[in-house]
Structure 1
Amino acid sequence: MRIIKLFLFLLLTSSLIAQNKKNVTLEDIWQNYTFSARSVGGFRSMNNGINYTVLERSKEGIDIVKYNYADKTKSEVLVKSSDLMFNNQSFSIDDYEFSSDEQKLLIASEMESIYRHSSKANYYVYDFATKAITQLADGEKIMYATFSPQANQVAFVKENNLFYVDLISGKQTQLTFDGKKNEIINGASDWVYEEELELVRAFEWSPDGKKIAYFRFDETNVKEWSMKMYEDLYPEEIRFKYPKAGEENSKVAVFIYHLQENKTVPTEIIEKYEYISRINWSNDSKNLAIQTLNRHQNKLIIQLTNAENGKGTIIYKEENEKYVEVPKTQFLSTKNQFIITSEKDGYNHLYLYDTNGKLINQLTKGNYDVTDFYGVNEKSGLVYYQSAEISPLDRQVYSIKLDGKSKKQLSTKKGNNSADFSATFDYFINYHSDANTPLFITLNNKNAKQIRVLQDNKPLLDRMNETNLSKKEFFTINVNNVTLNAYTIKPQHFDETKKYPVFMFVYGGPGSQMVEDSWGSSNYFWFQHLASKGYLVVCVDNRGTGARGADFKKITYKQLGKYEIEDQIAAAKYLATLPYIDGSRIGIFGWSYG
């Protein structure tokens, strides 16, 4: 009898708790931001590998605070927000960068977005020794202010021209003079490069600080697009250059400016090209590596270009019958070698080459994609990267030797893991989440031992525990002779004997991925809101999506929309056969590519 009473008591208690839980509302998500996750703002690793800095809110505003990796109690406020005054006017920190010697700080304030990634801001230089603050460009908003490696100069873009200022003399030098809106851009990218090639700042200091390599975009012949902005009572029309498929792109060239000689050297591209996707300096500052792609993006060439005469030598060439992804590269400082990512064996992996174009070693191998490349510790010979080795839904952080041996998994939790490494690679911050758990950020040493938790998002977890939520569940669908990954969020108190309408969410663009074991932010709660209204939410990654190798991704080449639509329709038809789904009430929603 006691057992029965206890069971009834627990049943009643759990029922009352469930009744007291709230459903997610749209106001919670997009008006009150009730379910916003926190991160660690403004993380920067310091040169000594012992300390790092973050942005922290105080009573006065945003401060820059220094911490010791090994001992959290050892902290110091490097810059107080109350100290940030110029001409008796206070300003706040939106972003910041240390100079190479960490004696100065470059602070961006009042940042203003332009397109998806680009922005302009007011920039200030803060001197730690004197506490002096200098404003760049006489208070005009500028783009991409960047210290020289020697910390005595700052380069930036203003009104489509490239400048640098000497921090000792205060003299400002203009490098280019032909910049003009919708015609010529120097040092910044055009819309296509920003959006499609993820290139925003289009200039690079040489390691010795004596040269600046920069892009010049001539978009004179690119056709204009007009767009009305309905932000105010009367709409404003903006016009910008926007090449559509098959239309003329910007004509792009790279130049090298020599500061001491005040001369500009044009670079000579060896083979015909359409895009210059990246530039990278060699560590001795004598050569500039220039990546080019043809219009079809199926031929990638890297040439090493002499900084004095602009002439180049091809050191790497890759061709593919479909297309070549823009690779990540890093030149080693102690050897004439570089690391590059490539899908040449069918999956994205890391390769080591010498600067004569000879393959030394394939560092990673297997039927999985390397999804990020963090860098190399040349002292230890360890390369750090992220991959989907365990599953396309999963991301883990690894290290591996330059000889491709001694691979070690550094992250420990199932789900999505990414990393920020200290300057010496002795520590890393791990950002973990999974499908039902928000960001959990930890500090770890090089042996993957957790030192402490930096952000656990406990307030958000507490709010989630007070809310009616359904688990995001993963499953697979076999359609069109292929297995597709999918997830579902079922209505609370799901009953298999009932029939539910389905809301299918789709993106499905080339190389994208919606179905992964990671935190879904606002979409997660939007889907929970729909589930509370009785909808069963489903998302399917069609053919053409990422983390499953080149063949799976590139099948949509030259026929975008064919396989994606076939797979989504087939998935919907499969769902309609399930006993708990109302096949007459399946809707599909997508945005952008979706």
Structure 2
Amino acid sequence: MKNFRVVFLLFIAVSGQLLAQDKQITLEEIWGGAFRTQGMDALRSLNNGKQYAVLNFDRASRTTSVDKYYYETLEKTGTIVNSEDIAEIQYFLSYEFSDDESKMLLATELNPVFRHSTLGTFYVYDVASKKVTKVSDDLIQEPTFSPDGKKVAYVFENNIYVKSLQDGSVQQVTTDGEDNHIINGVTDWVYEEEFAFVKAFEWNKDSDRIAFLRFDESEVPEFSMDVYGTALYPTQDVFKYPKAGEKNSDVTLHVYNLDTEKVSPLPIDIDYEYIPRIEFSNESSILAVQVLNRHQNDLNLYFYNVDSKEANVVLHETDDAYVDINDNLTFLDDNSFIWTSEKDGYNHIYHYDKTGKLKKQVTSGNWEVTGYYGYNPKEKRIYYQSVENGSIDRDVYSIKLNGKSKKHLSSQEGTNRATFSADFSYFINSFSSATIAPKYTLNSAKDGKELKVIVANDEAKEKLESYNVAMKEFSTIEINGNELNMWMIKPADFDPNKKYPLFLYQYSGPGSQSVANSWYSSNDYWYFMLAQQGYIVACVDGRGTGFKGAAFKKVTQKELGKYEVEDQIEVAKTLGERNYIDEDRIGIWGWSFGGFMSSNCILKGNDVFSMAIAVAPVTSWRFYDSIYTERYMTTPQENASGYDDNSPINFVDQLEGKFLLVHGTGDDNVHVQNSMRMIEALVQANKQFDWAIYPDKNHGIYGGNTRLHLYTKLTNFIKENL
């Protein structure tokens, strides 16, 4: 009897192990959030440098709090604000401190305008008195404390307002704001999307001036989208959208004097097209203004005295292709400044004096600075992230302002991202790799030593391992004379003597990266699921992608889609020569730029690819916006062949394999016009294909069951055609 019990228990254990090994990932799990990891939401260092704040949401009570913790012990030391204690607020979605941390802006309602912009209801919370003040009864944009914390500036219906937090009075700064005509203080659609900012006004240090951009978009062509909704009749969304070669907004610079209540123009004495950044320096009257030509390859940095109206060019940077815009400009106490640039062929950190004279190139080498974290004036030390240890990894470093005494602060191979304390004594390192789930640790900023683990996410790795999947394998592959980064996911029971269908993913957009040593996204779990079902999934970053130097990234200039497509076709051919790849069953897919690429690949590589999926693709660069497209292609008037020779809509007659085209009708970024015109071209070429349209869904195609439905369709298409 005893021996029977031992055998029975052994049978149960072995059976359980076999069941675990056969466990299949499902789409319902992926899009139901089963593989989500824990993070630290809205992490901010407090001014004392000893504590940090985190946004916490209690799902049971549906209340929000901002709690503070000591860096040294990681212990919670108190709650700064809890919506449970505020009668006017059930919960809030975000928070911002005033400079002295005596007040907070709490957002209680946020409605999207475009991809990055929102309209919301905001309250000012006084930390000491616990009193709340509604900023406005209207839905407003971009409320921002003045540096002295006595006022809040915001935008309502394209006009700028300033509310006094002392007496509640409101000053209206501009009066000419009008929908689809004049915008003050926030950006138009194309600036928001392509220069990545919404708030187009800035306070000066003394809180008595506001500099702002004014957009006159009256001559910009309009784009309209039908909104089907649930009512009997659909509505229409009409907005200004400059396509490549078309009229942009006329953007001008202005300053408002809060004492005189007058707006004055700040004229710029050169021909320009864009003002992609404005920022006040440490001198209250000096405004830094970045000015760019239409080709985006000639940038001037002005220091503008808003009182005397005198402007001096302190830095002039040009490039044969384009000059990247970023948020790394940092002013030191003496008004010298830190700047990042690709001018030596790689993105590096530079230090200039306040007149624009170069003092020092702080970092150098055949590698890229990928993140700038800040400057510690006490130690005269800069903190940054780079790819010094390989382009698929990210590491954290510090270096003296004079370029000496560099320290490697991260220790694990993978993707490290740092959030530093205000006094740069600590940093919280967010780390992950393809074998280690996201891990948050407290580290010393002096030497990088790990002090404590805050969040480990060990269960995420254990959960994935319970499905018996093979992790990503990283390697390089020689394609068209270049060593390209690649990852590959094989079935867990991979047999090199068998032949497997190959499914390629890529994005391939300028400066992008899809092959990175980091933990897995929802798409990666989908790839694991496909591998469980007998597919090999791979991804290769070809020419034009990022973090290998400017020459590698900018080789595609004026020919978007030429070299990138050549590389993906050659990748498929090269991998198809491997004994375990079935060269007759190679597919490719992508989203947005990746959808443009997969469309081109199934057409121009019709002898290589047997199927392709394109989600929300650009099908002709003539349909896409001015800033993005012209940055890489100049205008269609100047470069017609570059546009037309690389746009899939012009090559539909070459379709031989199976093709699935997917788009959302509410996509304000890559308009559904791209797919509709592609569909018509395919129909007139008498080419059979599959397509799916998601009503009112934007570029992300999500909401409710949408993602589950979409990926079910994609999966079924792969299984039927690859």
TM-score by length of 2: 0.78
Matches of 1:546 and 1:161, distance apart in 2: 38
Give the corresponding residue for 1:148: 146
Q: 1:122-141 alignment to 2 at 5 Å?
A: 122-138=121-137, 140-141=138-139
Aligned-partner SS, 1:292: strand
Give the corresponding residue for 1:73: 75
Aligned-partner SS, 1:566: helix
Deviations 1:164-188 (A, max 9, x none): 1000000011101111111111111
The answer to whether the 8 Å contact 1:330/1:375 transfers is: no
**What is the CA-CA distance between 1:338 and the residue it aligns to?**
0.5
Give the corresponding residue for 2:675: none
Aligned-partner SS, 2:404: coil
Question: Which one-letter code corresponds to 2:30 in the other structure?
Answer: I
Give the corresponding residue for 1:245: 244
The answer to whether the 8 Å contact 1:291/1:303 transfers is: yes
Matches of 1:451 and 1:201, distance apart in 2: 38
Name the stretch that deviates more: 455-464 or 351-360. 455-464
Give the corresponding residue for 2:28: 27
Deviations 1:509-535 (A, max 9, x none): 000000111123111101111111111
Give the corresponding residue for 1:525: 525
Question: Which one-letter code corresponds to 2:462 in the other structure?
Answer: D
Matches of 1:359 and 1:78, distance apart in 2: 44
Give the corresponding residue for 1:94: 93
Q: 1:141-180 alignment to 2 at 5 Å?
A: 141-180=139-178
**What is the CA-CA distance between 1:237 and the residue it aligns to?**
2.1
Give the corresponding residue for 1:557: 557
Name the stretch that deviates more: 357-366 or 448-457. 448-457
**What is the CA-CA distance between 1:354 and the residue it aligns to?**
1.1
Matches of 1:469 and 1:424, distance apart in 2: 44
Bigger strand share? 1
Give the corresponding residue for 2:86: 84
The answer to whether the 8 Å contact 1:265/1:309 transfers is: no
Aligned-partner SS, 2:329: strand
Give the corresponding residue for 2:183: 185
**What is the CA-CA distance between 1:74 and the residue it aligns to?**
4.7
**What is the CA-CA distance between 1:383 and the residue it aligns to?**
0.5
Give the corresponding residue for 2:538: 538
Matches of 2:195 and 2:363, distance apart in 1: 25
Matches of 2:11 and 2:510, distance apart in 1: 49
Q: 1:315-326 alignment to 2 at 5 Å?
A: 315-326=314-325
Q: 1:272-287 alignment to 2 at 5 Å?
A: 272-287=271-286
The answer to whether the 8 Å contact 1:56/1:65 transfers is: yes
Matches of 2:154 and 2:515, distance apart in 1: 40
Q: 1:55-454 alignment to 2 at 5 Å?
A: 55-58=55-58, 59-60=60-61, 61-86=63-88, 90-138=89-137, 140-232=138-230, 235-447=234-446, 448-454=448-454
Aligned-partner SS, 1:438: coil
Name the stretch that deviates more: 244-253 or 517-526. 517-526
From the superposition, tell whether residues 422 and 230 of structure 1 become closer, same or farther in structure 2 (CA, over 3 Å): farther
The answer to whether the 8 Å contact 1:189/1:200 transfers is: yes
Aligned-partner SS, 1:428: strand
In the alignment of these two chains, the number of paired residues is: 582
Give the corresponding residue for 1:586: 586
Aligned-partner SS, 1:321: coil
From the superposition, tell whether residues 328 and 77 of structure 1 become closer, same or farther in structure 2 (CA, over 3 Å): closer
Give the corresponding residue for 1:5: none
Aligned-partner SS, 1:260: coil
Question: Which one-letter code corresponds to 1:489 in the other structure?
Answer: I
Question: Which one-letter code corresponds to 2:290 in the other structure?
Answer: Q
Gaps of 5+ in 2: 1-8, 595-722
Bigger helix share? 2
The answer to whether the 8 Å contact 2:102/2:128 transfers is: yes
Question: Which one-letter code corresponds to 2:93 in the other structure?
Answer: D
From the superposition, tell whether residues 10 and 551 of structure 1 become closer, same or farther in structure 2 (CA, over 3 Å): farther
**What is the CA-CA distance between 1:52 and the residue it aligns to?**
0.9
Matches of 1:276 and 1:10, distance apart in 2: 71
TM-score by length of 1: 0.95
**What is the CA-CA distance between 1:290 and the residue it aligns to?**
0.4
Give the corresponding residue for 2:703: none
Deviations 1:203-232 (A, max 9, x none): 111111111111111111111111233443
Matches of 1:462 and 1:473, distance apart in 2: 19
CA RMSD of aligned residues (A): 1.8
Deviations 1:301-356 (A, max 9, x none): 00110111333110000111111111444343421311100000000000001121
Name the stretch that deviates more: 73-82 or 168-177. 73-82
Matches of 1:403 and 1:212, distance apart in 2: 34
Give the corresponding residue for 2:626: none
The answer to whether the 8 Å contact 2:56/2:67 transfers is: yes
**What is the CA-CA distance between 1:118 and the residue it aligns to?**
1.2
Aligned-partner SS, 2:271: coil
Aligned-partner SS, 1:305: strand
**What is the CA-CA distance between 1:245 and the residue it aligns to?**
0.6
Matches of 1:11 and 1:494, distance apart in 2: 27
**What is the CA-CA distance between 1:425 and the residue it aligns to?**
1.1
Identity across aligned pairs (percent)?
47
Matches of 1:330 and 1:342, distance apart in 2: 11
Matches of 1:328 and 1:123, distance apart in 2: 26
The answer to whether the 8 Å contact 1:18/1:468 transfers is: no
Question: Which one-letter code corresponds to 2:27 in the other structure?
Answer: L
Give the corresponding residue for 1:4: none
Matches of 2:363 and 2:174, distance apart in 1: 43
Aligned-partner SS, 1:245: coil
Aligned-partner SS, 1:325: coil
Give the corresponding residue for 2:496: 496
Matches of 1:557 and 1:15, distance apart in 2: 58
Matches of 2:328 and 2:580, distance apart in 1: 50
**What is the CA-CA distance between 1:15 and the residue it aligns to?**
7.8
Q: Which runs of 4+ in 1 moved over 6 A?
A: 9-15
Aligned-partner SS, 2:255: strand
**What is the CA-CA distance between 1:13 and the residue it aligns to?**
6.3
Aligned-partner SS, 1:85: coil
Question: Which one-letter code corresponds to 1:238 in the other structure?
Answer: D
Deviations 1:71-126 (A, max 9, x none): 2235212212211222xxx3311000111121111101121222221112110011
Question: Which one-letter code corresponds to 1:185 in the other structure?
Answer: I
**What is the CA-CA distance between 1:465 and the residue it aligns to?**
2.9
Matches of 1:434 and 1:231, distance apart in 2: 42
Matches of 2:38 and 2:19, distance apart in 1: 28
From the superposition, tell whether residues 11 and 402 of structure 1 become closer, same or farther in structure 2 (CA, over 3 Å): farther
Give the corresponding residue for 1:3: none
**What is the CA-CA distance between 1:192 and the residue it aligns to?**
1.0
Matches of 2:449 and 2:217, distance apart in 1: 51
Matches of 2:381 and 2:161, distance apart in 1: 38
